Chain A
Amino acid sequence: MENQEFEPKIVAFVCNWCTYAGADLTGTSRIKYGANVKIIRFPCTGRIDFMLLMKAFENGADGIIISGCHPNDCHYSTGNFHARRRWVVFRNLLNFSGIDTERIQFSWVSAAEGFKWADVVNNTIEKVRALGPYENYKKINVPTLFAKEDNNE
């Protein structure tokens, strides 16, 4: 009952050249998707540091989308291939540590795939909504400690 009202927080880590542009196209085409996904722009999937993904879960994300150019389409020729290898290893490690990799959706969305972006977002929202809030993380969170550490500027 509580889950029906649950709106997951989802962070999307996307590359500038394909998926960010693809998401722009979703907008230009006025295709609708859930407002609970927020996009962070990276130059390339190769730039996405695995530490940032961990930080996203720690700070209350219930799901993560990671998306970039299709293989062979990388603006930087090979950044996405390197990223893909890291993801294989990172997923394996997360899974072994008991972190739910179902909550991380990897995808390739090109600058022309406005529809696909909306699909990826909506499907991920559905999936994460069904999985519920990421309680495991919420139990061990120490928000006050974090807030003080970070906002010292």
Chain B
Amino acid sequence: MARVGVFVCHCGENISATVDCEKVAKESGDLNSVVFSTDYKYMCSDPGQTLIKEAIKEHKLDRVVVAACSPRMHEPTFRKACSEAGMNPYLCEMANIREHCSWVHPKSEETTAKAGDLVRTIVEKVKKNKPLQAIKVPITKTAIVIGGGVAGIQSALDIANCGHKVIMVEKQPSIGGHMSQLSETFPTLDCSQCILTPRMVEVAQHPNITLYTYAEIESVDGFIGNFKVKIRRKSKSLDENLCTGCGLCTTKCPKKKIPNEFERGLGNRTAIYVPFPQAVPNKPVIDRENCNYYQKGTCKVCEKVCPVQAIRFDQEDQIIEVEAGALVVCTGFDVLKPNFFPEYGYGKYKDVIDGLQFERLASASGPTKGEIRRPSDGEIPKKIVFIACAGSRDPAKGIEYCSKICCMYTAKHAMLYKHKVHDGTPYVFYMDIRAGGKMYEEFVRRAIVEDDTKYIRGRVSTVFERNGKLIVRGADTLMGAQPVEIEADMVVLASAGVSNPDSEELAQRLHVSYDAYKFFAEAHPKLKPVETNTAGIFLAGACQAPKDIPESVAAASGAAVKVAALFSNSELTREPVVAEVNRQAPPVFSTCTGCFLCEKVCPYQAIEREEIKDRNGNVIKTLARINKGLCQGCGTCVALCRVKAIDLHGFSNQQMYSEVMALLNF
């Protein structure tokens, strides 16, 4: 026979203003199995908790019901208090008589009666509660960082400096990400490469970091603390241990006219190539799609010139399997594809380029050595138009969000242009200038005031060519929506930042959720910004939403701390709200029939098959078994199981049944 204690909280006047708490306490005292009941002004306060603890001892309570606020608010508080009094914490339940009662109903008999009903219901539930033990799971103290951009680099270094092993997986032949493509960075105008490349080298040389470039995540199994990850190391057609990175092969390769991805098509590369001079690792890969040998079967020039015979034409992709306790996803973003802007002529006119291409033009190591020259004829543009929000904040284009970084980099572009072309005129068409950030607004002001950038508030409807000029037609909404036409020599689109084309596939591989734009979703937009809804997988950088460098780095360090905190223990404890398949004595073993209809229902692939064997090793029966590490306790399998062989701890069939019965029968 259970001994239940009921504790009714006044919550100051929040509850007692409309509910007669004394009456509720008194009447609960008459309920079957309730041996003690009382009310108190603030149950969650220190004296309130002491009251509960003392009552547990004094009245030998083995179940506690606290009638107060929402369990989402104080369930952990009261469970902890009960635990401190020597009770199993999972034998404490809360009746929500504040949010679901006193606050939503007027002062009346009826409201007090409802509070009583809710208490009675929870009393009946708690009588069926079973003592539960927190689940302990061991942790593999290795983190996998997916993506080697600035966020990935920061995260990897932070984790590695805490003394934990890190495996970095980068898709491209070099780490560095989009940041390595940038010329200067706002709002300080310091050179991007100068601040990034030392960090890239640090990653490569760190004793705790293993770097896999030209590699992708093949599959992820397991759960927090215990992931099993398969990594595909794409063939570089190269023995990396032999290669000295001398670069002779890249100078001799006969295929020289391949558009260079790093230069955003503004420069060329060879088929065996290093993406950029400061690449890490600074060793080439063969792009098989464009290699004469792989396409036509003859050439092998690189093999002939290599002084150390490091070229391996027969090298195959390699799949390696690693174990990890946590993953940090830092896969970054992409820029909207040109076919989005038929009206802006991107792709049709050579001198309409996007922001990243402008970065390459402005970069001292770029295709023009840092001179702003237009792609069509190499002339220096005298009038240049920047179009902000090219795709962003435009429901008609399917992108309703603000890409966030464009206002700032457009101001930076205008500045860089003016610094290099003194007699040139930069124009910026914008919707709003969003310059929230340290020194950001001041930076934009400088572009307007000191560098004389002409900001025009309005949208551009179309860009077309006439008399060798690009005519940018828009409206100036600060001049009464007057139509304006600017004859420009070059147009730069601040194209929207979008998710990577393969982000959906990766999200499904990782079992993390993503938003309508295919950006990865954080577990909570405010309070869990670097966690995902899959425990043990964290996010950082622009794979969540467009972010600038300081934000990406901050998030990366945040994610690193989460990983380090997880790795600070050798075991982790989890709420025991998990499902379980019953087990019985032979010959039944379990009421589970082994139909496995529940298998596909589980969102976490937590349902496994267990074979019951006789002494000779013959399988007698195959049963479902829940992996406690994977199960998150949703109970979808429980409601599906016909035989009721699965039950959910904390929300068991008996508990829920008792609740319904108690709520309606009195």
User: Do A and B interact directly, with beta carbons closer than 8 Å?
Assistant: yes
Task: Report A's interface with B, CB cutoff 8 A.
Answer: 9, 11, 16, 20-21, 23-28, 30-36, 38-44, 46-50, 52, 55-56, 59-61, 72, 74-79, 82-83, 86, 118, 143, 146-147, 150-151, 153
B650 nearest CB neighbor, chain A only: A43
Q: Is the CB of B659 within 8 A of A40?
A: yes
A38 to B659, alpha carbons, bound, how many Å?
11
Q: Which residues of A contact B639 (CB under 8 A)?
A: 46-50, 83, 86
A56 to B662, alpha carbons, bound, how many Å?
10
The tally of residues in B whose CB lies under 8 Å from a CB in A reads: 52
Q: Is the CB of A46 within 8 A of B663?
A: no
Q: Is the CB of B100 within 8 A of A23?
A: yes
Whether A43 contacts B656 in the complex (CB less than 8 A), given A24-B100, A78-B603, comes out as: no
Contact residues of B between 87 and 133, Cβ < 8 Å to A: 96, 98-106, 108, 110-111, 113-114, 117-118, 121, 127
Q: Which residues of B contact A56 (CB under 8 A)?
A: 660, 664
**Could you say which of B111, B114, B533, B663 has the most chain A C-beta atoms within 10 Å of its C-beta?**
B663
- The 8 Å CB contact of A49, one of B533, B632, B638, B661, is B638
Per-residue CB contact flags for chain B residues 586-606 toward chain A (1 = under 8 Å, else 0) read: 000000000000000101100
Whether A24 contacts B635 in the complex (CB less than 8 A), given A59-B664, A77-B533, comes out as: no
- The 8 Å CB contact of B105, one of A25, A35, A60, is A35
B105 nearest CB neighbor, chain A only: A35
Q: Which residues of B contact A25 (CB under 8 A)?
A: 99
Whether A47 contacts B533 in the complex (CB less than 8 A), given A39-B96, A59-B664, A147-B665, comes out as: no
Q: Is the CB of A76 within 8 A of B96?
A: no
Q: Which residues of A contact B340 (CB under 8 A)?
A: none
Question: With A43-B634, A44-B636, A151-B32 given, can you name 19 additional A-B contacts, CB distance below 8 Å?
Answer: A24-B73, A27-B102, A30-B104, A43-B577, A43-B635, A46-B601, A46-B639, A49-B638, A49-B656, A56-B660, A59-B660, A59-B661, A59-B664, A60-B665, A72-B513, A77-B511, A79-B603, A79-B634, A147-B665
Per-residue CB contact flags for chain B residues 615-644 toward chain A (1 = under 8 Å, else 0) read: 000000000000000001111101110000
Can you list 17 A-B pairs, Cβ within 8 angstroms, ordered by A?
A9-B664, A21-B72, A26-B104, A27-B101, A27-B103, A32-B106, A34-B105, A46-B634, A46-B635, A46-B639, A47-B648, A56-B664, A59-B661, A76-B636, A77-B603, A79-B603, A153-B127
How far is the CB of A98 from the nearest CB of chain B, in Å? 21
Q: Which residues of A contact B533 (CB under 8 A)?
A: 75, 77
Q: Which residues of B contact A118 (CB under 8 A)?
A: 104
Q: Which residues of A contact B511 (CB under 8 A)?
A: 77
How far is the CB of A28 from the nearest CB of chain B, in Å? 6
B430 interface residue per 8 A CB criterion: no
Q: Is the CB of B665 within 8 A of A146?
A: yes
A20 to B73, alpha carbons, bound, how many Å?
12
Whether A32 contacts B664 in the complex (CB less than 8 A), given A43-B651, A77-B513, A86-B639, comes out as: no
Q: Is the CB of A38 within 8 A of B657?
A: no
Total contacts A-B at CB 8 Å: 142
Q: Which residues of B contact A41 (CB under 8 A)?
A: 71
Q: Is the CB of A24 within 8 A of B665?
A: no
Q: Is the CB of A38 within 8 A of B114?
A: yes
A61 to B664, alpha carbons, bound, how many Å?
7
How far is the CB of B303 from the nearest CB of chain A, in Å? 49
B106 nearest CB neighbor, chain A only: A32
- The 8 Å CB contact of B601, one of A35, A49, A82, is A82
- The 8 Å CB contact of B104, one of A32, A55, A143, is A32
B503 interface residue per 8 A CB criterion: no
B515 nearest CB neighbor, chain A only: A72
Q: Which residues of B contact A16 (CB under 8 A)?
A: 72
Q: Which residues of B contact A76 (CB under 8 A)?
A: 603-604, 632, 634, 636
Q: Which residues of B contact A36 (CB under 8 A)?
A: 114
How far is the CB of B444 from the nearest CB of chain A, in Å? 33
Q: Which residues of B contact A21 (CB under 8 A)?
A: 72
- The 8 Å CB contact of A27, one of B104, B110, B640, B665, is B104
A35 to B117, alpha carbons, bound, how many Å?
11
Q: Is the CB of A47 within 8 A of B104?
A: no
Q: Which residues of B contact A43 (CB under 8 A)?
A: 577, 633-635, 648, 650-651
Q: Which residues of A contact B111 (CB under 8 A)?
A: 35
Q: Is the CB of B635 within 8 A of A27?
A: no
B70 interface residue per 8 A CB criterion: yes
Q: Which residues of B contact A39 (CB under 8 A)?
A: 96, 100
- The 8 Å CB contact of B661, one of A32, A47, A50, A150, is A150
B290 interface residue per 8 A CB criterion: no
Q: Which residues of A contact B110 (CB under 8 A)?
A: 35
B282 interface residue per 8 A CB criterion: no
Per-residue CB contact flags for chain B residues 227-238 toward chain A (1 = under 8 Å, else 0) read: 000000000000
Q: Which residues of B contact A33 (CB under 8 A)?
A: 104-105
A83 to B640, alpha carbons, bound, how many Å?
9
**Could you say which of A34, A78, A86, A143 has the most chain B C-beta atoms within 10 Å of its C-beta?**
A78
Whether A38 contacts B117 in the complex (CB less than 8 A), given A28-B99, A47-B648, comes out as: yes
- The 8 Å CB contact of B651, one of A27, A47, A61, is A47
Question: Which 6 pairs between the two chains have the least Cβ-Cβ distance?
Answer: A47-B635, A27-B99, A46-B636, A76-B634, A59-B664, A27-B103
A131 to B128, alpha carbons, bound, how many Å?
35
- The 8 Å CB contact of B98, one of A27, A42, A52, is A27
